[in-house]
Amino acid sequence: MAKENKLKIIPLGGLGEIGKNMTVHEYKDSIVIVDCGMTFPGDEMLGVDVVIPDVTYLMKNKDKIKGLLLTHGHEDHIGAIPYVLKKIDMPIYGTKLTIGLLQNKLKEHNLENANLNVVKHGDKFKLGHFEVEFIRTTHSIPDSAAIALTSPIGTVIQTGDFKVDFTPISGDVMDLNRFAELGNKGVLALLSDSTNVIRPGYTLSERTVGETFRDLFYKAEGRIIVATFASNIYRIQQIIDAAELNDRKVVISGRSMVNNINVANELGYLRVNPETLIEINDMNKYNKKEIVIITTGSQGEPMSALTRIANNEHRKIELMSDDMVIISATPIPGNEITVSKVINKLLEKGTNVIYEALADIHVSGHACQEELKLIHTLVKPKYFIPVHGETRHLRHHADISYQLGTPRENIFILENGQSLEFTRDSANLGQMVQAGNILVDGLGVGDVGNIVLRDRKHLSEDGLIVVVVTINKQTGAVESGPDIVSRGFVYVRESEELMEEVRKIVKQTLDTCEAKKISDWSTIKSNIRDDLRTYLYTTLKRNPMILPIIMEV
């Protein structure tokens, strides 16, 4: 009897982390991929711009790849595509807005010939051995979808990011009925969003934020500046609605905000009177009570429009004393301090600032516990795999699945690279494939690794001292130096004595080496390093990087 064919699910990102979502589904000669996201570097990844998944496994199995399916247009689901497409050409499928946003992004990377395919919710099509279906969900960006993948082994549903918003701003509600239908037919496995699993109850509807906007806009005496996520088209819709209700024009500021609003508007995802949107240069033609500015910078990003406004560095927008600034977002963990700084800067200028602690100007885009239970209950999966979360989220989600009746042995907490293999009536851990973080720094993809990061960390904490000596090739005698150059160590003008002392110590080391007839350069260098390190640690309790360089003439 031939070996039974198995369905493999291999997460390449999004497990044990928030971000960088990417999942491989493989059956026989067919691979389909769900999402291809990036994440932002952690504090320890100094100087890194973006982190993407390691796709070595896909490079090795290029021939099997039938397509990449996108659940929605957020960076943590589409942000790695430009980097991956340069290595793996493949057709990409997504709903209209998702593909529109991706197109925009690919243009910036000069990748205009990608094979992009617009899919509608409810569409079903074959990709190799898989039947693919996009199911409507609700999230903090329109046109989001869950994806059902049916192979001969069974149906797997991947929720993508979602919340259950019964009163979404535009478009229909989540297609709960389809989840129920599939549940009735029998679902092999559910991979579900764990981002908010620690929060009890329900996430509030996006609509609640609109009420706050209407109240605030009604009261405002001067201009209104609202910072939010550029991708939150619903939020932007509600700001525009509140503006129109109060006879205010809308100005857009910030590159990504302008881009996203253009795409959403062109594709019909925004309802806006043609005369509402005005150019930033025309702002002065209006009374300040007639202006709303929608801007980026809700996370306190240093180069964003809001931060530049707060620091008086924006070329076109200068703060006025009766401006009202609304930060319609919650700080993503790690951004609390940069957001506080912007708030404080604005307040110092006398601006009225409304932020999350003061008013209901933000709701999450992710499902809380009761919503997660709802989907789980409708789908009734045989196997459950919590995804999109740190370990604590995955464990919690696993516990909820267990409470809902899934046997412990049918719940799998995976890690990136850990494959799971299904037959029709079994699931078992399979091989570990290569997975991890690829660091992008400028145009370099993957050329910054642990050694480089360790050096950057060392340099950032104590700076460096370069010691240069010229030595005569024949005689071994010092021809010139030691010259000492330091950066990031001490303020040199006020530390001349110290630098003189450093020079003396290196001289002594060189003398000792000469006396001991040590002519091996690496030994001389390591002696210089050791003697200097000891001296500096004893006198200053500091440990700069020491770079001895020997030139021979």
Among all residues, which ones are annotated catalytic?
193, 366
Q: How far is the CB of 390 from a copy of itself (least distance, A)?
A: 5
Nearer to a copy of itself, 73 or 548 (CB): 548
| Pairing verdict, β 437-441 and 444-445 | antiparallel
**Residues 6 or more apart from 345 whose CB is under 8 A from it?**
310, 311
Helix H, strand E, coil C: the string for 63-83 is HHEEEEECCCCCHHHHCCHHH
Q: In the range 493-552, which residues lie near a copy of itself by CB under 8 A?
A: 494-495, 539-542, 545, 547, 549, 551-552
- The residue type of 27 is Y
Q: In the range 8-47, which residues lie near a copy of itself by CB under 8 A?
A: 16, 42-43, 46-47
Q: In the range 196-235, which residues lie near a copy of itself by CB under 8 A?
A: 198-199
Q: In the range 234-263, which residues lie near a copy of itself by CB under 8 A?
A: none
- CA 492 to chain centroid: 39
Nearer to a copy of itself, 44 or 211 (CB): 44
Q: In the range 386-415, which residues lie near a copy of itself by CB under 8 A?
A: 390-392, 395
Which tokens belong to 140? 């903090």
Tell me: is residue 397 an annotated ligand-binding position.
no
What is the spatial distance between Cα 182 and Cα 148, in angstroms, rounded to a whole number?
9
CB 485 within 8 A of CB 466: yes
Stretch that binds a copy of itself, among 126-134, 243-251, 317-325, 446-454 (CB under 8 A): 446-454
Instruction: Collapse the DSSP code of 542 into the 3-class scheme (helix H, G, I; strand E, B; otherwise coil) and give the result.
Output: coil
Which tokens belong to 367? 């499902």
> Per residue in 412-423, is it b (16+ CB within 10 Å) or e — as a string?
bbbebbbbbbbe
Tell me: is residue 230 an annotated ligand-binding position.
yes
How many positions of this chain bind a copy of itself (CB under 8 A)? Answer: 69
Helix H, strand E, coil C: the string for 332-355 is CCCCHHHHHHHHHHHHHCCCEEEC
Tell me: is residue 72 an annotated ligand-binding position.
yes
- Exactly one of 442, 500, 516, 534 binds a copy of itself (CB under 8 A); that residue is 442
- Exactly one of 340, 434, 512, 519 binds a copy of itself (CB under 8 A); that residue is 340
Q: Contact letters (x/-) for a copy of itself, 460-479, by CB under 8 A?
A: xxxxx-x-x-x--------x
Q: How far is the CB of 442 from a copy of itself (least distance, A)?
A: 3
CB 167 within 8 A of CB 207: yes
Peptide bond into 41 cis (omega under 30): no
CA nearest 407: which of 430, 375, 387, 384? 384
Nearer to a copy of itself, 399 or 421 (CB): 399
Q: How far is the CB of 388 from a copy of itself (least distance, A)?
A: 14
Asked if residue 122 binds a copy of itself (CB under 8 A), the reply is no
- Angle formed at CA 72 by CA 376 and CA 174, multiple of 5 degrees: 45
Which residues of this protein are in contact with a copy of itself, per CB under 8 A?
Answer: 16, 42-43, 46-47, 198-199, 333-334, 336-337, 340, 343-345, 347-348, 353, 357-358, 390-392, 395, 441-444, 447-449, 451-453, 455-464, 466, 468, 470, 479-481, 483, 485, 487-491, 494-495, 539-542, 545, 547, 549, 551-553
